[in-house]
Structure 1
Amino acid sequence: MSDKPNWSVDGSDWPNRTASRFVDAAGLRWHVQVMGEGPVVLLAHGTGAATHSWRDLAPLLAQRFTVVAPDLSGHGFTSTPHWQRLSLDGMSRDLSVLCNKLAISPEIAIGHSAGAAILTRMTLDGLIAPKLIVSLNGAYLPFGGPAAQFFSPLAKMMALNPLVPRLFAWRGRDPAAVHRLLKGTGSTLDALGERLYRRLVGSPGHVAAALEMMANWDLHPLVRDLPRLTTALLLVAATRDHAIPPDVARRVRQLVPQAQLELIDGLGHLAHEEQPGRIAELILIAAERAGVLAAQQEMSN
């Protein structure tokens, strides 16, 4: 589906637009934002999001790091591959090709929701070698029980029906509907945040990629491999997250002995958008602990 967001129109006031560039890699044209100086931090957003998700956190991190934040395959302003490549393995490989094209070796990999799973898969497969992975409400565990047997076939059916993304996009243009969708994650965003999500959800091509990603998503191999992860892992879990409850992070903590768990009260699934300064401080402390930074420097929202 070609009804993707248009950079000249939808990107005319995109957050941190001056940091944006377009890069060809893995047969895709990627939208990437690069800012700051210092050790390289790679950011990977969650399903259905884009670089706007880092609009306030990325500039804070850029005070100490070189921040590289792409729109993942099929999302935002990055072109869409064949739907079968929108799997955990496929998106991990494509993102590694982009990293090679940019000639970056991330020392910190920060992923939100499904983005955390992608960066952890890349690390386990030797595609990147960060000193630290930061999971922000990471989507590491598959649905269990009857939900798994219902959700996967439904997602595939929806993803392959060209009318479904258009229906979602039509509904996504309703501000009230997007407000309810975001509130359902346990997060409260400002008017700009809601407007940016509405812009994306109103794009059939963006919605189609998110649905295709969900249809192809299989986390069972990742769960199997998590115990052999040796990289430092910070699990940030928000107590009001209705999408990925904190119990997911607790279970991952049991699988990865060196993992550190940080519970944050009062925030939801989009905690890094609600209070970016709070999340930046946690990342800075973890970076020092992992030896990426030598001394603490205060970061403020």
Structure 2
Amino acid sequence: MDWAKDGRDWPNNEHSRFVACRPHRWHVQAAGEGPVLLLLHGAGGATQSFRDLLPLLARRFTVVAPDLPGQGFTSLGTRQRCGLAPMAEDIARLCEENGWRPHHIVGHSAGGAIALQLALHWPVKSVVCLNGALGTFEGLAGWLFPVLAKLLAMNPLVPRLFARLSSTEKRVSDLLASTGSQIDPRGVGLYRRLVADRAHVEGTLLMMAQWRVEGLMSRLDRISAPVLFLTAENDRSVPPATSVLAAAKVQDGEIVELPGLGHLAHEEAPERVAEEILAFIDRIETKKPPKVSGGS
């Protein structure tokens, strides 16, 4: 995407900066003061996904939110490092070179898997995994991403064709609705701009083509940091059962269900999600016992 054209009204653009850190040129939003909280979006999104959540968390933390390689405004430096482990390594390097030492990591969907991958190597205080993509995608995304990823391997024109054919308002709205979430018109418009961008589509498809979580899942028991798995009742992209299985594997896992919300829960109800994240961090830092209820 072109920052000169699209960045003028990008959410939270006053906190945006561009950082060259091999092998990519990163777009990062950094806001707030205090301990560092790393915020990671899911496949096909960008920092716009946290347009309302980021300011809420920045009241207590220095929130660092990068666009993943090739997505949003982050320029892809190499096509070979879009899988789970390489992306985690590159994000770790980005943080280390810029003096950001995360105390907490919050990741949505595929960003949740990256957060757990980072927690295998970083001594973080906690991880929040929101509708974490720790298995195969379900629904339309589960069918669409693998097919397009295979086509990408055969034909480099696929991103351009997908961007041209799929960026109508109705098609974007249908894709978002297939996740089980209902987001506002502004949110739909921002996703439409992303889907219309060939480079963003290519970055997303490269990520899905290289996406493997088996290695992470086999090592979840090595994560010593407390992990909160936030699961949305209406998530049609990642079944809540995926988080239940993962929570049983980590050393200190907690599950909280978000009734009435879908895969993009943080866009539907940012205040509610922020409340759960902050309450979890407070419990970790003050050694409070977890809630008995399922988050209702």
Runs of 4+ displaced beyond 4 Å: 150-154
Are the structure 2 counterparts of residues 241 and 153 from structure 1 closer, same or farther at C-alpha, using a change threshold of 3 Å? closer
Q: How does 1:105-184 map to 2 (within 5 A)?
A: 105-124=101-120, 126=121, 128-142=122-136, 155-184=149-178
**2: distance between equivalents of 1:185 and 1:95?**
27
Q: How does 1:262-273 map to 2 (within 5 A)?
A: 262-273=256-267
Quick one: which of 9, 12, 28 aligns to 2:8?
12
Quick one: which of 34, 41, 60 aligns to 1:38?
34
**2: distance between equivalents of 1:170 and 1:94?**
30
Contact 2:24 2:78 in 1 (8 A): no
**1: distance between equivalents of 2:192 and 2:38?**
25
**1: distance between equivalents of 2:277 and 2:51?**
16
Which consecutive residues of structure 2, in runs of 5 or more, have no partner in the other structure? 289-296
**2: distance between equivalents of 1:14 and 1:187?**
22
Contact 2:151 2:158 in 1 (8 A): no
Given the alignment of the two structures, is residue 82 of structure 1 paired with residue 82 of structure 2, yes or no?
A: no
Quick one: which of 179, 187, 198 aligns to 1:193?
187
Shift of 1:249: 0.8
**1: distance between equivalents of 2:273 and 2:3?**
29
Given the alignment of the two structures, is residue 51 of structure 1 paired with residue 47 of structure 2, yes or no?
A: yes
Quick one: which of 207, 224, 227 aligns to 1:233?
227
Structure 2 counterpart of 1:27: 23
**2: distance between equivalents of 1:189 and 1:120?**
27
Contact 1:159 1:211 in 2 (8 A): no
| Alignment coverage as a number of residue pairs | 285
Quick one: which of 196, 202, 214 aligns to 1:202?
196
Superimposed CA distance per residue, residues 216-256 of structure 1 (whole angstroms, 9 cap, x where no aligned partner):
01111011001121110000000100000111111112212
Which residue type is aligned with residue 82 of structure 2? L
Bigger mean CA deviation after superposition, 78-87 or 135-144? 135-144
**2: distance between equivalents of 1:84 and 1:23?**
20
Given the alignment of the two structures, is residue 290 of structure 1 paired with residue 296 of structure 2, yes or no?
A: no
**2: distance between equivalents of 1:47 and 1:160?**
21
Quick one: which of 207, 214, 217 aligns to 1:213?
207
TM-score by length of 2: 0.91
Shift of 1:291: 1.0
Which consecutive residues of structure 1, in runs of 5 or more, have no partner in the other structure? 295-301
Quick one: which of 267, 275, 278 aligns to 1:281?
275
Contact 1:142 1:219 in 2 (8 A): no
Contact 1:159 1:208 in 2 (8 A): no
Shift of 1:162: 1.6
**2: distance between equivalents of 1:43 and 1:223?**
21
**2: distance between equivalents of 1:192 and 1:110?**
23
Quick one: which of 227, 250, 253 aligns to 2:247?
253
**2: distance between equivalents of 1:181 and 1:269?**
12
Structure 2 counterpart of 1:73: 69
Structure 1 counterpart of 2:294: none
SS of residue paired to 1:30: strand
Contact 2:117 2:216 in 1 (8 A): yes
SS of residue paired to 2:5: coil
Contact 1:110 1:116 in 2 (8 A): yes
SS of residue paired to 2:248: helix
Instruction: Tell me the percent identity.
Output: 47
Structure 1 counterpart of 2:291: none
**2: distance between equivalents of 1:101 and 1:293?**
32
Contact 2:32 2:62 in 1 (8 A): yes
Q: CA RMSD in A?
A: 2.1
SS of residue paired to 1:31: strand
Contact 1:123 1:130 in 2 (8 A): yes
